[in-house]
Amino acid sequence: MIALNIAQIAHAVSGEVHLENGDTLDTVVSGAVDTDSRLIEPGGVFVAKPGEETDGHLFVDAAVERGAALALVERRVEASVTQILVPDVVEAIAALAREVVKTVKDAGDLRVVGITGSNGKTTTKNLLARILEGEGETVSPKASFNNEVGAPLTMLRVTGTTKYLVSEFGASAPGEIARLAGLVDPEVGVVLMVGMAHAGGFGGIEATFHAKSELVRALSAGGVAVLNADDARVAAMAPIAAEQGASVRWFGRGPTATDVRADDVVVTASGTSFTVTADGVSLPLRLRVLGEHHVMNALAAIAAATTFGVSLADAVARLETVEIAERWRMQPLGSERVRIINDAYNASPDSMAAALRTLAQITGPDERTVAVLGAMSELGEYAEEEHDRVGLLAVRLGIQRIVVVGDPARRMFLEAVAQGSWDNEAVFFSTADEAFDYLQGELRDGDRVLVKSSNSAGLRFLGDRLGESFS
């Protein structure tokens, strides 16, 4: 975080100061801000956030032991650290993030880009950050820090020398993206796709469209909306950009992707090769991140980066250094003998379909496809229908072994059986341990194994176990 004195921080968060340890209102604080006491470093700011399972106020002492210089609290605690008392610490860190970003913008040339979409946000964020890091100091979210807590914490990592801030905006309800984007006023907004992820929270696909379009509405006059030309709902956001006085930059694989486009896509087990054309310049790109669907994420990253003046050649060279999108996202594990693809950090109907198609595409004629599938979360009333669709798709793609794990995902198994996956081609297990024991005996040389589920299903750890077992 930039250096601010206690008075400035208290003013930004509208808090009540309780000084300790000889601090004054002029005492300067410049350490990192975090809600996890275990991650606090000397001089840092600890945010005592109440949670569903525990309460951050119980860990103020632990944060002090690690060197916290200041604590944001909702009630005073007995601890030898200056505290700023606020009604809501989540709202406080948002207000502090707004102040920090505005201060840096006013003093320098900080450029801000926001990314949203039903799928692909984290991968696109990582790809764009890799490109921009070659241009100057870049701050981007760790993992999927894209919610009401994670997004402000990322923003608070901005310093006086930061050139680019890449913000990832997730949401499970209307209004959340508008609120988060409003903290930083992005000049570039990237919308990847409108799909069924979190449809239960939004109330359907049209409500999801309106929620994702909040990022475009947050752009100011002179801003740029980077839109997926291949997604009709995203393309329909162009008039919204025009209303804001923002221009549109199109990316995609179809003929309407007039600014950044991919052609001649070839998918292999070691990555995806294609020709990228940006503003009339064409270059070959070999993306090592597994999955044809990541072509669109790469195009989005290129479209945003070139908006900032990055050359296509530099963007391509930097993207070719990326080996994986993120841990647990199409992460290759195991060995050439048994290849495990651990993609179990997140799942939606669209990302599940993309991962299954990738499995089918990268498996050779003498190899076997194995899909280990868990539940997709946050689908609400659409959950049963969408899980059925996944089971149907797995059969239609010819996946040779379908292993469904966890009671919430059972409909995938039932649909696969109903569609013809008999004779143990599809199996079901209630627990990951049972599935692991089965796979230990079932997997053989030449198998290509996809592990895919939402985070809540916990199959990412099953993927790790399988990767280690067959390494």
Q: Rounded to an integer, what distance in angstroms lies between the CA atom of residue 307 and that of residue 299?
A: 12
Residue 95 lies in a domain: no
CB 35 within 8 A of CB 45: no
Residue 94 lies in a domain: no
Q: Tell me the CATH number at 355.
A: 3.90.190.20
Are 77 and 122 part of one and the same domain? no
Are 175 and 253 part of one and the same domain? yes
Are 169 and 286 part of one and the same domain? yes
Per-residue pLDDT of the chain (471 residues; tens, 9 = 90+): 999 999 999 999 999 999 999 999 999 999 999 999 999 999 999 999 998 788 999 999 999 999 999 999 999 999 999 999 999 999 999 999 999 999 999 998 899 999 999 889 999 999 999 999 999 999 999 877 888 999 999 999 999 999 999 999 987 778 999 999 999 999 999 999 998 665 555 667 888 899 999 999 999 889 999 999 999 999 999 999 999 999 999 999 999 999 999 999 999 988 999 999 999 999 999 999 999 999 999 999 999 999 999 999 999 999 999 988 788 889 999 998 999 999 998 899 999 999 999 999 999 999 999 999 999 998 888 899 999 999 999 999 999 999 999 999 999 999 999 998 878 899 999 999 999 999 999 999 999 999 999 998 999 999 999 999 999
Are 174 and 233 part of one and the same domain? yes
Are 118 and 228 part of one and the same domain? yes
Q: Rounded to an integer, what distance in angstroms lies between the CA atom of residue 221 and that of residue 236?
A: 19
Residue 15 lies in a domain: yes
| Amino acid letter for position 390 | V
Q: Rounded to an integer, what distance in angstroms lies between the CA atom of residue 358 and that of residue 268?
A: 9
Instruction: Go through the chain and tell me how many residues it has.
Output: 471
How many CB atoms sit inside 10 A of residue 45's CB?
A: 25
Residues placed in the known binding site for ATP: 117-123
Segments forming the whole domain that contains residue 234: 108-319
Are 188 and 129 part of one and the same domain? yes
Are 210 and 273 part of one and the same domain? yes
Are 260 and 135 part of one and the same domain? yes
Residue 136 lies in a domain: yes
Are 232 and 129 part of one and the same domain? yes
Domain count, the chain: 3
Residue 103 lies in a domain: no
Are 31 and 69 part of one and the same domain? yes
Closest C-alpha to 186, from 227, 150, 132, 222:
222
Q: Which residues contact 141 (CB under 8 A, 6 or more apart)?
A: 122, 125, 150, 151, 154, 166, 167, 168
Residues placed in the known binding site: 117-123
Are 115 and 28 part of one and the same domain? no
451: left (phi over 0), alpha (psi -120 to 50) or beta: beta
Are 304 and 359 part of one and the same domain? no
98: left (phi over 0), alpha (psi -120 to 50) or beta: alpha
Q: Tell me the CATH number at 59.
A: 3.40.1390.10
Residue 97 lies in a domain: no
Residue 438 lies in a domain: yes
